[in-house]
Structure 1
Amino acid sequence: MAEKDQEKKEDLSRRRFLKNSGIAVGSLAVGGALGSMIPWGTEEKDTNQAANQGANYNQALMFFTQAEFQTVEAAAERIFPEDDNGPGARDLGVGYYIDHQMAGSYGFNARDYMQPPFFHGEKEQGYQGRLKRREIFRIALREVQNYSHQEYGEGFAELTEEQQDSVLQAFQEDNVNVTTISASGFFDLLRSMTLEGVYSDPLYGGNINMDGWRMRNYPGNQMNYTDIIDKDFQEIEPESLRDHM
């Protein structure tokens, strides 16, 4: 009985401490662990939470400047434009996917052997230079802007769709004189990353709302198919890796 009475006293003491602590810290505790016990400011807090529920914090630049991002986004949109089948690269967040890749290990060529000596490789061997992908993008985007101003007097993002197509085609066909990189090599890299952004898991920044998968009726990253494997063919809603975290 003595032990039970002691436990009861400790429990009451613990509750009293929490209650008194909540009163003592006052408004400073709002939003913290103790703040949940205090009713002050809850209306404003709830309003802020509601406003942030729809925010996509994955859409934040990590490498590109705003001007570079606008050029990448516009170029990706011309490679994968919006049509009757669904959204284009811009609405799918492809620009953010490419930006995040450039900021990460892919942009640093972390898995590639990048030490000298460097030799001129055959075209089928792929890129053989010393520049990292992030450096290629930074140089190429500047050249895209220079070529756009040279040909049309405006930056790439301000050009008409037909003019943008003309600029990209000039890079694709190596009709742009770029000294440090291959113009067509940059276009191939941009095209490849655009398609990756369209069809990658939304966790990586692109394929917003999994609409890229929906256009292909692709189910995404399902954990398993045990509940439908013995049934007739059916379309299922795609799932992201985030859905299983």
Structure 2
Amino acid sequence: MMPEWKNLTYEKDGRIARITFNRPEALNAISAGLSQELKEVLADFDSDPDLWLAIVSGNGSCFCAGADIRETGKEARLPSSRVDHYYLDAPVNWKPVIAAVHGYCYGAGLVFAAECDIIIATEDATFSIVETKRGMPAITLSAQLAPWMASKKVTEMIVTGDPFPAQDVYRLGLVNHLVPTYDDLLPAAEKLAERILANPPMAVRSAIQAARMSVFQSQTYRDSELLFRSSRWKEWDDFKEGMAAFKEKRAPVFKGR
């Protein structure tokens, strides 16, 4: 019997696993609970021989608005390394995962979507690297996104923290397909899934493994991860100010230290 999930839904529909972030009241922000449940269902998906493909989406108004930094009160619960956020870097069977994105795809939500093998998005979706605005370095996201987008646009996303419309990231190569509305999103993902499922699964998985490993095991990625780990950003006054300002819903006052 499958456990009852508090932060997501997990359904098995023939060869397709349907995973839906289900914290609409928090804009599907990734809390510690959601992160753990996501790892658990992805492990089940990976090990179930009857499942060949997963579609991940968000319930409510958006896909995911980022990490839930409010859940621990005064102090944000942040991992000692960004690698704690990764979900698809080392599976056993390398099955394809489609991200079906609408509304906000920010911060940790973008981290996860970028890990997925294919992204389908609504035309009104927006993508943003919000870490910089909170006083955190987005070092590994730079290495993660650069293979799929023009690197200088990735740099612009990082240093501004501004949202980019779906049309822009589609044109730059991060998004595979655009659909007009939310009502079109899951049907489009399902049609694409059927095209993939028509092919021999072992050949598909070999391609998925090669694509993911080209990012996760690249020297640039490894170097960026080491740089993130060695950075003392948690001690920055600007990081503490960025967190406090976000929770207090005010403009931050950064001092460059």
- Using structure 1 for the length normalisation, give the TM-score: 0.22
Q: In proportion to residue count, which structure has more strand? A: 2
- Using structure 2 for the length normalisation, give the TM-score: 0.22
If you compute each CA radius of gyration, which structure gives the higher value, 1 or 2?
Answer: 1
Q: In proportion to residue count, which structure has more helix? A: 1
